[in-house]
Amino acid sequence: MSDAAVSDAVSPQTQSRFITALRDTAFVGLLTAGLCFPLIALRAEADMNNHLELQQRWSWLVAATIAMAASRFITSIFDRLAARIVGVIGVWLILFAGGTAYYATNSHGGVIAGCAVAGLISIGLAAVLNRSNVDAGPAEPTRFYRLDTSGGSIAGNLISIAALGCAIAFPLVMLAWLGPQGSLKWINNYGVQILIYVMLGWGLNIVVGLAGLLDLGYVAFYAVGCYAYALLATKFGLSFWLCLPLAGILAAFWGILLGFPVLRLRGDYLAIVTLAFGEIINIVLTNWVDLTNGDAGIPSIPRITFFGLPFTASDDGFAAWFGIEFSPIHRNIFLFYLILTLALITNFVTLRLRRLPIGRAWEALREDEIACRSLGINTTNTKLTAFALGAMFGGFAGAFFAVRQGFVNPNSFTFSESAAILAMVVLGGMGSQIGVALAAAVMIGGTELLRELDFLKVLFGEAFDPSQYRMLIFGFGMVAMMIWKPRGLVSTRAPSIFLKQRKAIAGALVKEGHG
Amino acid sequence: MENFLQQLINGVTLGSIYGLIAIGYTMVFGIIGMVNFAHGDVFMVSAFIALIIFLALTQLLGVSSIYAAIFIVLLASMLLTSLWNWTIERVAYRPLRGSFRLAPLISAIGMSIFLMNFVQAVQGPRNKPLPPMFNEVIHITKGGSFDVTLAYKQIIIVAVTAVLLAGFWYLVQKTPLGRAQRAVEQDRRMAALLGIDVDRTVSITFVMGAALAAVAGTLYLVNYGVVSFSDGFTPGVKAFTAAVLGGIGSIPGAVLGGLMIGLIETLWAAYVSNDYKNVAAFSVLIIVLIFMPSGLLGKPEVEKV
């Protein structure tokens, strides 16, 4: 079939295609309306007397139905993935413009017109994208072969070095650009926060990405490290630098303690048991009031010192010692470099271990457990090392968290925290170091950044808080990732050992055994 | 003694609800071998649907008979929750058949997070309290340290559970649909070769699991009169524990496990520590999985290459 034939008269084929698309659209529209009718159209809200009243929001239901139906229409008339994505974006832009026009009380003419035009252009672009390859018939899903950057390709090394350079320069650039006051938020809320999650993601990556053990209670080890420092420092007055290794060792010890009985369980049972363990730790932390002070938490944990020099304005403080003017930003910059160092140690150890026999055994275990056992690998010990090592890095991160916050309570260690870290590992591509770091930066930094954007507040109202939708998007992203690229974004794995020449293996070719 | 009897009654009520949810876990595990992690959140969604339909009936449509209202709510909640679970299976699990082993579980975890936060976003994060209903009680003993009571709603819960289970057992054991399900459970490929529509059978399994979860959700709402977006997680894990304890894949096992978990939880709360009652349930889960992974009524699993 040539291009001209498609674009000219309406052939029977395109006609039936169109009818199928319309039928799909109607079905998806009805389904959305049915799913959302009680949950979206009606909202139960308690009034002053704690009496529930229903609020009716039928326009929301209509909007959701139209949006889903229109998206389905686009995806069923276009064949190519790119055309579908661009087309759906176009439809959403037009609907957004329509919604703003319908609701806006003051003038948002520019935004409305801009969105509508951009939407129309997107749909036109989608049509062009779709036609340019119509001869090939329904296109095969394109598969991108990329090199695993953690495997050590040149491009990957350059990216890693550039990312590292940016991370090292970040606080100094911010300080020079915005001054001590303005840069505090960026270094603390963005830099340190993101790096804690990068470190947790890398730690969990050893367990999930390399050894293929799904751990849903990773936050328990984070909690162990955190409370280890908090308790040792407040009850025995030990310094952070002594507690940091202790926290890691304690967390690793807990990892071994839990790992011994459970690691012979199958993949999905292991996941549930680790989840139960995480919950038990949280309940104990909440209810063992004598030790942990329960929900009230442990306040006034000693702050970080510069290897003994406190970050205070006093005469024996950091600023006085180095003869510079005191500023609270010094502590935050130091914390930033500390967590950066800890995260890099995690990364370095992981990368080195991957080349040792134990690391190869982890990856072999992930791919096929029965084959491993047949080859004489001690699966229990292999799993246990991965589990303990992952727990240890979680413990380090926990101790850092405690010294940074100066206050801990059990609310920081809930299942949703475990789920967020797991989402980073899954979305970043299980096993890929740079992917996990990117996912952490986008997921934590991205939502913080969205909160800053004022024009979103203008459009969605003052109460708009994107972090409310963060986990919603993470959850959906995990499902989408499993369907689209189950082995993660970086789906090619460079083998860490090879005979003559390094050949990349596509993730799709690797069959997973019992994980 | 009075205390023990009262806790026994409460435990059986709670256990019925867990048993209803556990059937959804056990059937899905039996038929496609995945832990449907989102099932607890499907239960929570069903409780929300029940709450909203109940409010719509009483406030907007002016239905005055509470029995009629609850009956309609039960049916509507079963229908709409089934629709949800059907969609979830279609969107999040079916494309993953044949993918690597952990993929469906990760997808289910994503779905669970999505559902929880979706309900939080559209219905708000606060608890939703209903005024108590069916407050009448029957006094079983009198004159002891306190009166042992059996509330009407507890009778309703146990009766509805028993009736549904009987119907459900009939469906699985005696109908062509149930036969198809058991065939798919034994060997998916062979069942397909013999002309059973495997995809359809799996979908129906999800629909049935969701319908029972919806009954549990409605009864939960009637019993406790309050629901929040995070209420799916803990009952979900406990119901999974019940399914494992009874032997995952076995439907009578799920009910038995549910009753046992309900009793363990209430008795632990009454005699040991109320704060640590969830620890008791979670510890049972860990111990059962480690020491008898095939549960009370399950078949031992053979690992095949």
* Contact indicator for B10, B155 with CB cutoff of 8 Å: no
**Residue whose pair of structure tokens reads 């203008």 in the numeric block:** A458
Token pair of B56 as six digits? 């719509």
Q: What is the separation of C-alpha B40 from the centre of its chain, rounded to a whole number of angstroms?
A: 7
Closest CA relative to residue A23, chosen from A62, A68, A76: A76
Instruction: State the DSSP string of A50-62.
Output: S-EEEEE-HHHHH
pLDDT single digits (tens) A174-216: 777 877 777 777 888 888 889 999 999 999 999 988 888 889 9
Residue B305 lies in a domain: no
- The alpha-carbon gap from B33 to the nearest alpha carbon of chain A, in Å, equals 10
* Contact indicator for B18, B261 with CB cutoff of 8 Å: yes
| CATH code of residue B214 | 1.10.3470
Residues of chain B found within 8 Å of residue A39, distances taken between Cβ atoms: 45, 48-49, 52, 118-119, 122-123
Domains contained in chain B, number: 1
Q: A504-513 burial, b for 16+ CB within 10 Å, e for fewer?
A: beebeebebb
pLDDT of residue A462: 61
Task: Determine, for residues A276 and B237 on separate chains, whether the beta-carbon distance falls below 8 Å.
Answer: yes
**DSSP label at residue A240:** H
Residue B297 lies in a domain: no
C-alpha distance from residue A106 to each of A97, A98, A101, B125 (Å): 14, 15, 10, 30
pLDDT single digits (tens) B163-215: 988 888 888 888 998 899 889 888 888 899 998 999 999 999 999 999 999 99
- Average pLDDT of the residues in B268-292: 86
- What are the start-end ranges of the E strands in A355-409? none
Closest CA relative to residue A482, chosen from B71, B95, B69, B22: B95
Q: For residue B102, what is the nearest residue in chain A, using CA coordinates?
A: A515
Closest CA relative to residue A24, chosen from A12, A32, A34: A32
| pLDDT band (50, 70, 90) for residue A6 | very low
Residue B301 lies in a domain: no
- What are the start-end ranges of the E strands in chain B? 128-129, 137-141, 148-151, 226-227
pLDDT single digits (tens) A114-164: 777 888 888 888 777 777 654 444 444 444 444 344 444 566 677 778 888
Distance, in Å, from the CA atom of A205 to the CA atom of A431, rounded to the nearest integer, reads 6
Mean pLDDT of chain A: 79
Distance, in Å, from the CA atom of A485 to the CA atom of A427, rounded to the nearest integer, reads 9
Phi, psi of A42, deg, nearest 5: -125, 135
Q: For residue B279, what is the nearest residue in chain A, using CA coordinates?
A: A280
* Contact indicator for B206, B214 with CB cutoff of 8 Å: no
Residue B168 lies in a domain: yes
Residue A234: burial class (beta carbons within 10 Å; 0-12, 13-18, 19+): middle
Residue B262 lies in a domain: yes
Residue B197 lies in a domain: yes
Distance, in Å, from the CA atom of A407 to the CA atom of A394, rounded to the nearest integer, reads 18
Instruction: Give the DSSP H or E segment for B224.
Output: helix B198-224
Residue B82 lies in a domain: yes
Closest CA relative to residue A330, chosen from A189, A180, A193: A180
Q: Reduce the DSSP state of residue B138 to 3 states and report it.
A: strand
Q: What is the domain range of residue B101?
A: 2-291
Q: With 70 as the cut, is the pLDDT of residue A3 above it?
A: no
- The alpha-carbon gap from A337 to the nearest alpha carbon of chain B, in Å, equals 33
Distance, in Å, from the CA atom of A324 to the CA atom of A328, rounded to the nearest integer, reads 12
pLDDT of residue B123: 87
Residues 6+ apart with CB under 8 A from A115: A93, A94, A96, A97, A100
Mutate to test the interface with A, among B101, B128, B229, B291 (most CBs of A within 10 A): B101
- The alpha-carbon gap from A273 to the nearest alpha carbon of chain B, in Å, equals 6
**Residue whose pair of structure tokens reads 């993470």 in the numeric block:** A474
